[in-house]
Copies of this chain bind each other. A is one copy, B any other.
Amino acid sequence: MARRGRGEQEGEQPSPDQPTVTLSPSAEFPGLGQDELAVLREVGQRWSAAMRDRPTDWDDLPLDPTLDRYRHPPTPSRFERLARIEMFKADEPGQLLATESATLPQNRAGQRLARVRRAILGPPLASTAVLQERMRKLIALPVLSSDLLSSVAYGPEALLAVLVLAGTGALALSLPLAGALVLLMIVVGTSYRQTVRAYPHGAGSYLVASDSLGPRFGLAAAAGLILDYVLTVSVSVAAGISAITSALPGLEPYTVPFGLLAIAVLLAGNLRGVRVAGNLFAAPTYVFIVAVVLLLVAGFAQAGMRGFEALPPPPVTAVEGLTLLVVLRAFASGATSMTGIEAVSNAVPVFKPVEWRNARTTLTWMVSLLVVLFAGLTLLIHLTGVVPRADETLISQVARHTFRTGPWYGIIQAATAMILLLAANTAYQDFPRLLFFLARDDYAPRRFLHMGDRLAFSNGIIVLSVTAAIIFLAFGGLTQSLIPLYAVGVFLAFTLSQAGMVVHWRRHRGRNWHWRAALNGLGSALCAIVLVTAAVTKFGEGAWVTVLAIPLLVLLASRIRRHYDRMHRALALRPPSVPGPDVGRPVLAGGSRDRAVGGDDQESEESPQDVRHLVVVPVARLNLAALRALAYAASLGPPVFAVHLSPEQEEADRFREEWRIWGDHLRLETIISPYRAVTAPLVQYLDALHMLRPDMVLTVVVPELMVRHPWHRLLHTPIDQRLRRALRGLPGVVITSVPVHLNR
């Protein structure tokens, strides 16, 4: 079945040291399962029955499909003919290699477009380059951590913003809470390390959860992450832009166009492929890290001079009492600094081999960086005794307090803006890959399996950009109100994947699995707390959207899966004898129940001898087009006959007369359609024929007029197209369109 992909990846525990290509373009063309191969062999035998008594010359073709023998075409003068054939290299008998030029569309417009595309996205990459497209650790670190680290820019602030509601006194709680968060980070980080090791092919929450807890949970996790990624893009872009505009207020009015521009840049950059995207977007993250570390060093140095005593924060009057709820809310808000910690686990397959090992190292680095920056900042904030203000961010306050307003301050702000803007890039890394995994399990449209000509999952990237852009527009670039939506989705994914790991350990034990399981269990529990707190406390502020959206997404996914399952059953090969499940039996689309029953004997031909032909040619007027269709039909051999519709008797007689003059070479059936309808009666007639001989394949040969300019179409009643659309419904009716071109 088409889901063997997952079969493989679920099934064996591969020896982790050999490189394995999970994200291969072949995923789009899954091979057949063992069972299917068996049936295929059976079907093949039935074929040989049909093909046994074929003449000896059956197999020699009038030309060599490998185009090879004809390297010197009949008229070498005609350059283009040569060219077209040169588009293919014959690399081994019976196999051609399409050159790059063969991927260009034929018509002028298409080629021009392709050229522009190439100019922006670069030349296409061959499938064989898939391994070179992996990321080095030094690149992976910034690309995958920008989301995580950027959240340091608002995490501590979110924490304090809640505490301060309970007055200045409550601010003292910031340190223990920060400690708890650091613990959480370490726990989650470590347990993700374990996950990466355990799922070397891709350790995303979706894979882990669906593997150990079952698909439903997997989908829930996936839904949470999908929401998170889309929001990340629109929110972080908005944040980045507003950081810029608050520095240069003159640009305020251009918020929306700037935001769209940013998204467009991210889109193009990521369409250029994983590696290029990495190189493009790596630098700013490093700049940010350096800048913040500098800030910390300088800040602590100053604090050191005064013996590390905290400056007293300005007195703030309490709005509400210091309840447990407040503390929990503070904790949950602070936890948003962890969003993006899962990035690596999804991205395992894009690391250079050995994937899991590199991924794990990178993860360790990320978490340590996170801990340092987060803890450092919170402490420094405490020492400098600044409190959250509406008009200025905490980082900005601390920076100003440390460096006074000056170049250093500017750098810090710029770096912050950049990283906020780039946090989106992490989503661009993970979203398409998540959809790839979903599609491989038939939970998402299969086109997300397709690797674009730069080996990036173009479709996923485009979908992400479009959705994010729409949200960004819908909120007019003021997406801050969306931040509450974050936590729920992310922490749902965390909780589930951690829980999944616990199950995983219980299944395949391994060395001191108890400890590992315990660790994951703890992580899961802590994440669950954050999840619930966030969902409850922020429900009103918009978390309800997530709570609503996740089940809907899960539903959608399973509907998609159901459709694909049905398709696979319907298209599954069946041994000639067995009739097969009725669901697999094709019937008249939109047909009545009765037809469904009648459907059993339709379209069942899987080998030549089952195909009994009946060719029908609808003829409107005996012109070149009609004769061409007739000639084509007649050359297929009997039985063939023609049908003509006339609005009235006179016309019918005249046409029969013309038919006689032509020589009456084929049986002609005229249908008088006194109400001048054309398509409907023809369809009904063919259907009636099919009723009489459901065992025959009705081949309808229609001439199709090809006009040059689109507006010319208005000048022709597209009988052929209408016929095709109408006949589509009929089972066992094959439509053959014989093209007739009018030049210019």
Contacts and interface: CB of A to CB of B under 8 A. Distances in A.
B73 A692 contact: yes
A309 to B, nearest CB: 64
B651 A45 contact: no
A35 interface: no
A361 to B, nearest CB: 29
A29 B647 contact: yes
Contact of A103 (B51, B60, B606, B677): B677
Interface in A564-614: 564, 566-567, 570-574, 583, 585-590, 592, 594-596, 598-599, 603, 605-614
Given A28-B676, A47-B663, A572-B624, 6 more contacts: A26-B648, A85-B688, A98-B681, A106-B684, A606-B624, A734-B736
Contact of A63 (B585, B614, B674): B614
B91 A672 contact: yes
Contacts of A612: 62
Given A73-B692, A103-B675, A687-B106, A736 B739 contact: no
A736 B24 CA distance: 32
Given A97-B674, A672-B98, A743-B570, A40 B661 contact: yes
B63 A708 contact: no
A87 interface: yes
A572 B665 contact: no
B667 A622 contact: no
A70 interface: yes
A675 B87 CA distance: 13
Contacts of A276: none
A88 B614 contact: no
Contacts of A708: 589-590
Given A45-B663, A583-B743, A671-B88, A658 B32 contact: yes
A192 to B, nearest CB: 31
A687 B84 contact: yes
Nearest to A125: B675
Contacts of A103: 673, 675, 677, 680-681
Contacts of A652: 95
A515 interface: no
A43 B80 contact: no
Interface stretch (A337-345, A350-358, A631-639): A631-639
Lowest 8 A-B CB distances belong to which pairs? A44-B663, A586-B741, A611-B635, A25-B647, A126-B674, A127-B648, A103-B677, A124-B675
A726 B691 contact: no
Number of copies: 2
Q: Chain A interface mostly helix, strand, loop or mixed?
A: mixed
A446 interface: yes
A737 B721 CA distance: 13
A572 to B, nearest CB: 7
A412 to B, nearest CB: 44
A631 B605 contact: yes
A21 to B, nearest CB: 9
A673 B98 contact: yes
A508 interface: no
Contacts of A136: none
Contact of A651 (B29, B79, B649): B29
B688 A84 contact: yes
Interface stretch (A225-233, A419-427, A528-536, A712-720): A712-720
Contacts of A65: 641, 643, 667, 669, 689
Nearest to A40: B662
A627 B25 CA distance: 24
A70 B662 CA distance: 30
Interface residues of A, number: 184
A624 B706 contact: no
A81 interface: yes
A446 B717 contact: yes
A119 interface: no
A108 B591 CA distance: 9
A363 interface: no
B605 A43 contact: no
B728 A734 contact: no
A562 to B, nearest CB: 11
A215 interface: no
A444 to B, nearest CB: 9
Contact of A627 (B43, B622, B680): B43
A526 to B, nearest CB: 39
Contacts of A107: 590, 729
A735 B701 CA distance: 10
A583 B744 CA distance: 9
A628 B605 contact: yes
18 contacts: A26-B654, A47-B665, A61-B639, A65-B641, A74-B692, A80-B594, A84-B687, A84-B691, A98-B684, A100-B675, A102-B673, A103-B680, A107-B590, A446-B715, A446-B716, A560-B715, A603-B740, A733-B739
A183 interface: no
Given A585-B743, A586-B740, A98 B628 contact: no
A41 B662 CA distance: 5
Nearest to A86: B688
B741 A667 contact: no
B78 A665 contact: no
A313 interface: no
